[in-house]
C-alpha cells in the first residue's frame, strides 16, 4: 500500500475530463487500494483519480464518520448518475485538493448511480444526503469540475489565490 501525493488546486490535471477504465487488472486493484489508503490517511471521505494525477474514471469513498460504525470503503469505476431527486440538500463541502476551504453547495439530495467494481461487476445503488453529495462531488472531479466552480466568481477567486499562496509555501519547504 502506498499513500499517493494529492494534487492541490490550481493544477491543469484537476480541470481535465478523465478517461474510462478499460483494464480490470492487478494494477487497477493496486490503484484502488492506494486511493483508499491515501483517502483515509488525509483524512477524507472521497478521492478521485485526477486528484492523484491518474486521469482515469475511478474514485473511492467512505462517508462513515462515526468511530462506532463499521467503515464502508468503496471503489467506484466508470460511475454514472442515472437518476437525481428533485429535493435538494445543502452541505458545507471541502476537498482534499483544496485544503481547509469549505463552502455550502446545493445538490440533489438523492441519486441513483451505476458503476463497475474492482472485480469488473456492474453495481447500482441509491445514495442519500452526505453519500449523494460525495458521489456527485467525486464524479465532478472525473469531469474536471471542482466544488468551488459552484461558488460565486469572487469567492472562487479568493480561494484560488489562497491555494496559489499555499502551493508557493509548500514548494519552498
Ligand atoms: Ni474533492
CATH number at residue 105: 3.90.45.10
Domain that holds residue 41: 12-172
What spacing in Å lies between the alpha carbon of 123 and ligand 1's midpoint? 23
107 within a domain of the structure (yes/no)? yes
* 71 or 67, which is more confident: 71
As a whole number, mean pLDDT of residues 7-19 equals 98
Cα distance between residue 70 and residue 118, in whole Å: 21
What spacing in Å lies between the alpha carbon of 138 and ligand 1's midpoint? 6
2 within a domain of the structure (yes/no)? no
| CB under 8 A, 24+ apart: contacts of 117-122 | 117/75, 117/76, 117/77, 118/24, 118/28, 118/29, 118/32, 118/75, 118/77, 119/24, 120/24
Q: Which residues contact 123 (CB under 8 A, 6 or more apart)?
A: 76, 114, 115, 116, 117
Predicted confidence band of residue 67 (pLDDT cuts 50, 70, 90): confident
What spacing in Å lies between the alpha carbon of 109 and ligand 1's midpoint? 18
Residues with CB under 5 A from ligand 1 (ion): 95
6 within a domain of the structure (yes/no)? no
Checking if the pLDDT of 8 tops 90, the result is yes
Checking if the pLDDT of 97 tops 90, the result is yes
pLDDT tens figures, 113-161 = 999 999 999 999 999 999 999 999 999 999 999 999 999 999 999 999 9
Which pLDDT belongs to residue 173?
78
Residue of 121, 143, 118 whose CA lies nearest to 48 = 143
Checking if the pLDDT of 1 tops 90, the result is no
Which pLDDT belongs to residue 122?
97
What spacing in Å lies between the alpha carbon of 27 and ligand 1's midpoint? 23
Residue of 82, 6, 13 whose CA lies nearest to 37 = 6
Which positions are annotated as active-site residues? 138
How many domains is the chain partitioned into structurally? 1
Radius of gyration over every alpha carbon of the chain, rounded to an integer in angstroms? 16
Mean pLDDT of the chain: 97
Amino acid at each position: 500500500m502506498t499513500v499517493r501525493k494529492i494534487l492541490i488546486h490550481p493544477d491543469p490535471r484537476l480541470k481535465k475530463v478523465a478517461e474510462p477504465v478499460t483494464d480490470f487488472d492487478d494494477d487497477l486493484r493496486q490503484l484502488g487500494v492506494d486511493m483508499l489508503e491515501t483517502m483515509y490517511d488525509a483524512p477524507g471521505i472521497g478521492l478521485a483519480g485526477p486528484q492523484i494525477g491518474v486521469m482515469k474514471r475511478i474514485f473511492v469513498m467512505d462517508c462513515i464518520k462515526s468511530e462506532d460504525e463499521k467503515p464502508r470503503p468503496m471503489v467506484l469505476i466508470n460511475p454514472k448518475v442515472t437518476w437525481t431527486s428533485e429535493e435538494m440538500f445543502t452541505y458545507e463541502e471541502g476537498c482534499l485538493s483544496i485544503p481547509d476551504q469549505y463552502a455550502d453547495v446545493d445538490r440533489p439530495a438523492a441519486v441513483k448511480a451505476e458503476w463497475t467494481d474492482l472485480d469488473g461487476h456492474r453495481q447500482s445503488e441509491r445514495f442519500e444526503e452526505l453519500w449523494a453529495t460525495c458521489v456527485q462531488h467525486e464524479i465532478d472531479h472525473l469531469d474536471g469540475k471542482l466544488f468551488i466552480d459552484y461558488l460565486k466568481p469572487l469567492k472562487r477567486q479568493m480561494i484560488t489565490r489562497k491555494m496559489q499562496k499555499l502551493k508557493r509555501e509548500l514548494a519552498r519547504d
